[in-house]
Amino acid sequence: EKLFHSRDHSDLQIPSSHQAELITDKDTAELFLSRYGFIRPVNWEELQFDESTGIFNDEDFPGEEDLSGIQEGDSSLSRVDTDDDDDDEDSPNPTESQAFISALREFQKVSGLSVTGLFDDATKAAMNKPRCGVPDKETDDATDEVHNSTSSALGINTATSLTNNTDTSEDSNSTFSGVLNGSRR
Amino acid sequence: QKRHVGRRSWGNMAFSKMVLKWRLIGEGYSSQLTIQDQRHIISLAFRMWSEVSPLDFVEDTFSPLEFVDIKLGFGTGRHLGCNQKFDGTGQEFAHAWFLGDVHFDDDEHFTAPNTGSGISLLKVAVHEIGHVLGLPHIYRTGSIMQPSYLPQESGFEINWMDRKAIQHLYGDCKGQFNTVFDWIRKERSQYGEVVIRFNTYFMRDGWYWLYENRTNRTRYGDPVALQVGWHGIPTDGVDACVHVWNRNTDAVYFFKGTQYWRYDDDNDQVLTVDPEGHLYPRLISEGFPGVPSPIDTAFYDRRDYHIYFFKGTYVYVFDVAANSLAPGFPRKITAVFPAVTSGDHPGGNIDAAYFSYTHNAVFLFKDTQFWRVVGRSRDRWRRPSLPRNGLLPRNGLLPHRKVEEQWFDICNVHSSALKV
């Protein structure tokens, strides 16, 4: 169990190995942008299963040797083995930094930040917020389209046509003043 | 294999069946909440999607795993045979697959709803289930599908646009109603004066919804089983509810089969005996001589102090003051409520007749359609040629309207989820 001493577990001690690695610099920011499809859309569905375990089923839950990984608790951000990993990190080629900047701008735009293209504090804070692991942009193998995760992908019309019914009857001589009792779940 | 069926793009594909099975898998329990809490919170998350879509969800803890549509589990680091490791405490708290499974990072501090700090398991579960059902990340304030977690505000619910997004995939909620009525009551305002208030209720089989006209939706957490909110009426549903409200009478009646009940507002239960000494339930033929039973539905019209009972293709207009059928009745519904547009008429077997104080109009419901009855004042003033009590189609252009186009998000939930 995670160690704690207070009754309400408020002093829960989380081993540092279980801490997600903070995003502090361009490299970790680049991994973040890559992981969530801002640099190149992620083929998310293909990534669900580790082929060695096939379709997940509690009857054939991965054997003991696979459980070792849980102990690692390694928090490498490398979700996807990006094929353009190159080892000459220190000499980024111009197209790569261009890709990084436009990815950064896209992230800043959808996150409601000012679109500076700079890895500024506000962007850093937004990247370190708790979030869902599903990529924001992913491909679909059938058509290789990039599916942005915006409402336009759903073709949703904004609900502007609705009249706002009030509960007081429209009939002027009516004596009703309809007020709903407090609605709680 | 099911993961690879059809296109996998958000917002265009969806489950093809409307009742989906889910399970919190045994090797995927969290170490932070009791198993009961985990299942209850996840059950509530499914129920919240069910309340705003035609989907029903049922927890299945018995079938072989391959028959379970949505599997959920907690894990840390490399987990549950999944290829996507979790990153430890902070940042990524969960992920999900379209038409598939949901994984929660148990290194996060998940908490039950409204318990202050930590990450609300309910909010995360609703978000991830949204993905499984086919919703992508949506960057709109208030959307539950925003990628980043927003600290839980109390009373979190699924907002209007997210409702429309899921209905875009699975359609609106449709269905017949047994009865629809505005329940009127006198209350004292904070200044001590007596005010009249009303709430709108839709009833179907053994459950009901309070409809909030002001916000165009049902009350959060509805439907509720009838016996929870209306003590003593038949638990499997009623045929009609009638509120007789005039200078001399203030009585709410529920009708079912050959009997009826009178409801005691003050004590929130049916009366066993009324001030006149009548025992309940009573036979309809006793309380309303000349009215057959069972009836299809009924409503009380405050404008002429009559109760309109509907059965088959006939309407029986009952004069409350005279305690007898009005002269010349019963008559054909088509004669009393003639079609304004030829052929555009429910004919008979009306499901519900409803006088709405919000719209100041009478509506007749049949199946998933409704007709509005020509109003005495406004409609006849605008178009004197309209027949008295004529049945208006949708603003005169198209035939009658669908109920779900005027009263929104009145959705069933699976009977096993009613108690959640």
B233: left (phi over 0), alpha (psi -120 to 50) or beta: beta
pLDDT in tens, B71-102: 999 999 999 888 899 999 989 999 998 778 99
Dihedral of alpha carbons A114, A115, A120, A123, sign: positive
Nearest to A112 by CA among A100, A101, A125: A125
Query: How big is the A-B interface in CB pairs under 8 Å?
Result: 259
- Give the catalytic positions of B in this structure: 128
User: What pLDDT shows up at residue B374?
Assistant: 86
For residue B218, the chain A residue with the least C-alpha distance is: A183
Q: Does B147 touch chain A (CB under 8 A)?
A: yes
pLDDT tens for B262-289 read: 999 888 899 999 988 999 999 999 999 9
C-alpha distances in Å from residue A161, one per residue of A157, B143, B170, B261, B405? 10, 20, 21, 41, 11
Query: In the predicted model, is pLDDT for residue A150 greater than 70?
Result: no
Q: How far is A177 from chain B (nearest CA, A)?
A: 6
d(C-alpha B372, C-alpha B387), whole Å: 13
Q: Measured between CB atoms, does B225 come within 8 Å of chain A?
A: no
Nearest C-alpha of chain A: how many angstroms from B294? 32
Task: Enumerate the residues of chain B whose CB falls inside 8 A of the CB of residue A143.
Answer: 7, 9
Structure tokens given for B383:
């178009």
Identity at B385, one-letter amino acid code: S
Q: Is B96 on the interface with A (CB under 8 A)?
A: yes
pLDDT in tens, B366-389: 999 999 998 767 666 677 778 889
- Work out the pLDDT band at A5, boundaries 50, 70, 90: low
Q: Do B101 and A143 touch (CB under 8 A)?
A: no
Tell me if B147 and A131 make a contact (CB, 8 A cut-off): yes
Please tell me if residue B125 touches chain A, with a CB cutoff of 8 Å.
no
Q: DSSP letter string over B58-116?
A: EE-SSS-GGG-SEEEEEE-SS-TTBSS---SBSSEEEEE-TTS-EEEETTS-EE-TT-S
What DSSP string describes B227-291? Answer: HHHSBTS-TT--SEEEEEESSS-EEEEEEETTEEEEEETTTTEE-SB-TT--BSSEEHHHHSTT-
Which residue of chain B is at minimal alpha-carbon distance from A144? B9
User: What would the pLDDT profile of B101-110 be if each residue is shown by its tens digit?
Assistant: 999 999 999 9
The distance in angstroms from the start CA to the end CA of chain B is 33
- SS3 percent helix, strand, coil of chain A, rounded to 5, is 30, 5, 60
Question: Who's near B405: CB < 8 A, 6+ residues apart?
Answer: B172
- Residue matched to tokens 């529920």: B254
Can you name the residues that pair with B197 across neighbouring β-strands? B185
B196/A175 touch (CB, cutoff 8 Å), yes or no: yes
Cβ of B357 and A71 within 8 Å?
Answer: no
Kindly determine whether residue B10 and residue A147, on different chains, have CB atoms separated by under 8 Å: yes
Which one of B10, B50, B91 makes the best mutation probe of the A interface by having the most chain A beta carbons within 10 Å? B91
Least Cα distance to B147 among A81, A138, A93 occurs for A138
The helix-helix angle for B35-50 and B121-133 (nearest 10°) equals 50
Please give the Cα distance from B316 to B308 (Å, whole number): 6
- CA of A10: how far to CAs of A133, B30, B251, in Å? 26, 17, 55
| In contact, A131 and B149? CB cutoff 8 Å | yes
| B216 with A156: Cβ contact below 8 A | no
Query: Per-residue confidence at B259, pLDDT binned at 50, 70, 90?
Result: very high
Q: Does B3 touch chain A (CB under 8 A)?
A: yes
* Cα–Cα distance, B187 to B207 (Å, whole number): 26
ipTM over 0.90: no
Residue B414 in this model has a pLDDT that exceeds 90: yes
A26 CA: distance to closest CA in chain B (Å): 17
Predicted pLDDT of residue B381: 67
pLDDT of B113 = 79
Return the percentage of chain A with pLDDT > 70, whole number: 37
Contact A134 B96 (CB under 8 A): yes
Q: What is the pLDDT of residue B7?
A: 37
User: From CA B28, how far away is CA B73, in angstroms rounded?
Assistant: 4
Element (H, E) at A102: helix A94-110
pLDDT in the model for residue B8: 40
Give pLDDT tens digits for B40-63. 999 999 999 999 999 999 999 999
Residue B49 has φ and ψ, to the nearest 5°, of: -70, -35
Task: Return all residues near A65 (Cβ < 8 A) that are at least 6 apart.
Answer: none
pLDDT by residue (tens digit) across B116-147?
678 999 999 999 999 999 999 999 989 999 99
Question: Identity (one letter) of the amino acid at B299?
Answer: F
Average pLDDT over residues A113-128: 92
Q: List, for residues B303-344, the tens digit of each pLDDT value.
A: 899 999 999 999 999 999 999 999 999 999 999 999 988 888
The pLDDT of residue A19 is 80
Q: Do A162 and B165 touch (CB under 8 A)?
A: no
Phi, psi of B225 (to 5 degrees): -65, 140
Could you give the CA distance from residue A96 to residue A101 in angstroms, rounded to a whole number?
9
Contacts of B219 in chain A (CB under 8 A): 183
| Model confidence pLDDT, tens digit, residues A28-77 | 999 999 999 998 888 887 666 554 443 333 333 333 333 333 332 333 33
Which residues does chain B have within 8 Å of residue A177's beta carbon, measured at their own beta carbons?
Answer: 195-197
The whole-number pLDDT of residue B110 equals 92
Nearest CA-CA distance, residue A12 and chain B, Å: 9
| CB-based contact, B101 to chain A, within 8 Å | yes
Q: Inter-chain contact A130–B93, Cβ cutoff 8 Å?
A: yes
- A153–B26 CB contact, under 8 Å: no
Helix B160-170 × helix B121-133 angle, to 10° = 30
**Nearest alpha-carbon partner for B333 in B354, B306, B359, B309:** B309
- Say whether A55 sits in a helix, a strand or coil: coil
Of how many residues is chain B composed? 420
Contacts of B165 in chain A (CB under 8 A): 151, 154, 156
Report the gap between the CA of A62 and the closest CA in chain B (Å): 6
On the question of pLDDT at A18 being above 60, the answer is: yes
A163: confidence class by pLDDT, cuts 50, 70, 90: very low
